Amino acid sequence: MTKYLSAFCLAVLVTSSAFAAESVKPSPKINYADNLLMNSKTAKRLEEMDSEDARLALQEARELLEQAKVAHNSGQAAEGSSLSSLALKKFTQAAKLLPKSESALKVLRKRYLELDEEILSYLEWYDSAPYVSGDEQEAVDKAKSEVLKAKMLFDNSKYEAANKLLTRVLDNVVVMTNRSMTSSEIVSSLDFETPEQEHQYELARNNEYKRLIPIAEQQKVPKGGKLMLFKRFVKKAEDVRVQADSELQSGDIKASIKTLQNSTDQYLRALRMIGIR
């Protein structure tokens, strides 16, 4: 009787274990990680790569994946999910050690040229401006220095580092230019000895904002209604500028000064319309 009871208990235990194993549902996340770490082209490239760091990273990722499978099959779904996430993270880190394809390098080189050209447009504007404050000149000099550093990185095929540096430079230059465009200093506080001096100042100020228009449009890329209104303000500024030139030709310099100020205000409205504050 005891033998039969023991055999019965053993049969129940085995059946229960088998039933428990069958009740564990497959994990899509673990299956995805398994396919990626074991069969993907990236995994094959890592296996063949002549880099101990890359192979070790791949090995660690696969070990974490095996631990995830064991945990999941033991009924610890949360632990399995967490370990599979770690495995995927480790695999991603390993993939970063792979050399980039020629197409990817081409994209990085193109991005560098775009950033460099855009920054140059801003810096050229400062170089041609009739007045640049001390703080602005210091920032411009720093930007030029960092552009040279980025070029050295680019020349040494460190494209990602070069682009990262240029992106930061562009952000700083844009912020500085926005502040320059929206300076709250009152022009009337300046003392001009003659109307001619005041006219020259207003003309230079108008030209500065006019030069900013294509730069701002390229940076902000306005669309739809904003673009239409932006162009309308720019057109109004240009028309008013023609009027100011006509007034100057007729000898009414004071009227020309006021008309130039109106033209500059239209340029400011255009810039603010596309988000330059």
**Residue range 18-31, pLDDT digits in tens:** 444 445 688 888 99
Please check whether residues 80 and 114 belong to one and the same domain. no
Asked whether residue 2 is domain-assigned, the answer is: no
Please check whether residues 15 and 52 belong to one and the same domain. yes
Asked whether residue 6 is domain-assigned, the answer is: no
Please check whether residues 201 and 258 belong to one and the same domain. yes
Domain boundary among 181, 198, 232: 181
Asked whether residue 1 is domain-assigned, the answer is: no
Query: Phi/psi at 192 (nearest 5 deg)?
Result: -105, 135
Residue 195 has pLDDT above 60, yes or no: yes
Alpha-carbon distance of 152 to 155, in angstroms, equals 5
Please check whether residues 208 and 141 belong to one and the same domain. no
Q: What is the DSSP string of 91-130?
A: HHHHHTTSPPPHHHHHHHHHHHHHHHHHHHHHHHHHHH-S
Residue 74 has pLDDT above 50, yes or no: yes
Asked whether residue 266 is domain-assigned, the answer is: yes
Please check whether residues 148 and 208 belong to one and the same domain. no
Please check whether residues 46 and 65 belong to one and the same domain. yes
**pLDDT over 90 percentage in the chain:** 27
pLDDT at 3: 46
pTM greater than 0.75: no
Inter-residue contact 163 to 115 (CB < 8 Å)? yes
Report the range out of 204-208, 241-245, 272-276 with the highest average pLDDT.
Answer: 241-245
Domain boundary among 71, 95, 119: 95
Asked whether residue 120 is domain-assigned, the answer is: yes
Asked whether residue 112 is domain-assigned, the answer is: yes
Domain boundary among 95, 129, 160: 95
Q: What is the DSSP string of the chain?
A: -HHHHHHHHHHHHHHHHHHHHHHS---HHHHHHHHHHHHSHHHHHHHHSS-HHHHHHHHHHHHHHHHHHHHHHTT-HHHHHHHHHHHHHHHHHHHTTSPPPHHHHHHHHHHHHHHHHHHHHHHHHHHH-S---HHHHHHHHHHHHHHHHHHHHHHTT-HHHHHHHHHHHHHHHHHHHHHHHT----GGGS--SSHHHHHHHHHHHHHHHHHHHHHHHHHH---HHHHHHHHHHHHHHHHHHHHHHHHHHTT-HHHHHHHHHHHHHHHHHHHHHTT--
pLDDT band at 188, cuts 50/70/90? very low
Alpha-carbon distance of 194 to 189, in angstroms, equals 15
Please check whether residues 177 and 190 belong to one and the same domain. no
Structural domain count of the chain: 3
Please check whether residues 17 and 80 belong to one and the same domain. yes
Residue 33 has pLDDT above 70, yes or no: yes
Please check whether residues 273 and 217 belong to one and the same domain. yes
Structural domain harbouring 54: 11-95
Residues 225-262: tens digit of each pLDDT: 778 888 989 999 999 999 999 999 999 999 999 999 99
pLDDT at 49: 75
Residues 125-159: tens digit of each pLDDT: 677 666 677 888 898 899 999 999 999 999 998 88
Residues 83-113: tens digit of each pLDDT: 989 998 888 888 777 766 667 778 888 889 8
Asked whether residue 177 is domain-assigned, the answer is: yes
pLDDT band at 13, cuts 50/70/90? very low
Please check whether residues 169 and 202 belong to one and the same domain. no
